[in-house]
Amino acid sequence: MSVPGILVAAPRSSSGKTTVTLALMRALARRGLRVRGVKCGPDYIDPAFHEAATGFPSVNLDSFAMGPALLDAVAGFAVRDADIVVAEGSMGLFDGVRAGEGRTGANADIAARYGWPVLLVLDVSGAAQSAAAIALGCSLYDARVRIAGVVLNKVASARHRRLVEAGLARVGIPVLGALMRDASLVLPERHLGLVQARETSDLDARLDRLGDLAVEGLDCDAILAAAGGAVPAGAGALPRPPGQRIAVAADAAFSFLYPHQAAGWRAAGAEIVSFSPLADEAPSQGCDVCWLPGGYPELHAGRIAAATTFLGGLRSFAETRPVHGECGGYMVLGESLEDAAGMQHPMAGLLPVATSYKSRKLHLGYRVAHPIADGILGRAGLRLVGHEFHYASESTPPPSEDEAFCRVADAEGTDLGFAGHRRGRVTGTFFHLIALDD
């Protein structure tokens, strides 16, 4: 599929990738182009911002978690009926895990696989000509990847810009735009990254402001001309649904469902029936599976504990049909959730786990898991790949093999023991599923 793409990346995190990505998306969409967003790596917040900026769903492409067939299927979904793909990287352009070429999870793998040129965002605060050395290093580090040009971010003055551009001219790397220092461009954040798109006040106005800045500060014509690459046609399939009618919790506390999962479920003919625990809604009894995605239940623990219709309906559902929870959903399926202030909130009591945010500890990384028993995600022993990112801790003992959902390892194969829980038809894990047996 010869839809051109460009990947917005940077040498490191916090360089301004999201700002430049959303600005470019909004500016191109204003031209009447059908812009599709892609997020490289395991991120479930940025795709919602992409959708807000473009009006079309965004997806994740992850070269570690997804095998080649699934990667191409998801990329094919992304370019369908599109005029251009704007992909956003995560962390640094080459940052990933130690794995075989093309399977590291780095942005560079995606750029190389689909031939998408890289628009490199350089945070030039505290540097001038030296920024060119960083850009040159990125252009030479991996022969599979082509740097189309750079966007300068956090430029202090016209003089500062001239100095940076002089360095880049010396190494022959074009400057395709510049953004001045502007604290008002920063989107609000919390412990997992950005505040969700649905929670960001005046989001449309913020995106329009970014679009204005792109028109003023980016050479959008040159960026469009630099876009290229292609996605193989007709390869692979999206994820299979866990049921025919799937009740999915969806509100400010439960929103971290990877877009390619939902797209695959719908493509296979399954129906997603949304409900809001925060509005005290129960899963529809007409569904055959219930799915509780992650999110921020710790910010709404009191409301969830008081949602008697939701909790009662969930318990009733679990008596006869499968229920699965990921991260925040897993915590809600447990006995209790302790918030950051140390207040205990009773949860559904369907799994023998209690969790706490009082003493925060970062849990981050890919998880390769094998379920102990047959269940909602597939047969026992199936290979699942997901990602874990949370600050909660378990205040109950680790699960035994008899009650664990799976055995897990990290991206390098280090055994992390048993994880998650299963009881009857109910299962839950701290990791978010990305792919299975691919």
pLDDT higher than threshold 70 for residue 258: yes
CB-CB contact of 175 with 165 (8 Å): yes
> Measured between alpha carbons, how far is residue 404 from residues 199, 219, 273 in Å?
34, 54, 28
As to burial, measured by CB atoms within 10 angstroms (0-12 exposed, 13-18 middle, 19+ buried), residue 412 is exposed
- Tell me the range of 211-225, 229-243, 349-363 where mean pLDDT is highest: 211-225
Quote the pTM value. 0.94
Residues in contact with 106: Cβ distance below 8 Å, sequence separation at least 6, in sequence order: 40, 63, 93, 94, 95, 96
For residue 193, the model assigns a pLDDT of 47
**Nearest Cα to Cα of residue 118 among 153, 87, 143, 80:** 87
Per-residue pLDDT tens digits for 103-127: 999 999 999 999 999 999 999 999 9
Crossing angle of helices 68-79 and 259-267, rounded to 10°: 80
What is the structure's pLDDT at 181? 85
Structure confidence at residue 191 (pLDDT): 43
Mean pLDDT of all residues in 280-288: 97
Q: pLDDT digit string (tens) for 123-152?
A: 999 999 999 999 999 999 999 999 999 999
> 69 CB contacts (<8 Å, ≥6 apart)?
235, 236, 237, 438
Lowest mean pLDDT among 88-97, 154-163, 193-202, 271-280: 193-202
Q: Give the H or E element holding residue 382.
A: none
Task: Please check the confidence at residue 184 and state whether its pLDDT lies above 70.
Answer: no
Distance CA 38, CA 5 (A): 10
What would the pLDDT profile of 11-54 be if each residue is shown by its tens digit? 999 999 999 999 999 999 999 999 999 999 998 889 999 999 99
- Mean pLDDT to the nearest integer, 406-427: 97
Higher pLDDT, residue 420 or 184: 420
| pLDDT recorded at residue 198 | 58
* Tens-digit pLDDT profile for residues 322-343: 999 999 999 999 999 999 999 9
pLDDT at res. 192: 43
Q: One of 40, 138, 220, 327 is an active-site residue; which one?
A: 327
The pLDDT value recorded for residue 197 is 55
Q: Is 327 a catalytic residue?
A: yes
Confidence band of 202 (pLDDT split at 50, 70, 90): confident
pLDDT at 434 over 80: yes
Quick: pLDDT tens for 54-92. Answer: 999 999 999 999 999 999 999 999 999 999 999 999 999
What is the pLDDT at residue 437? 77
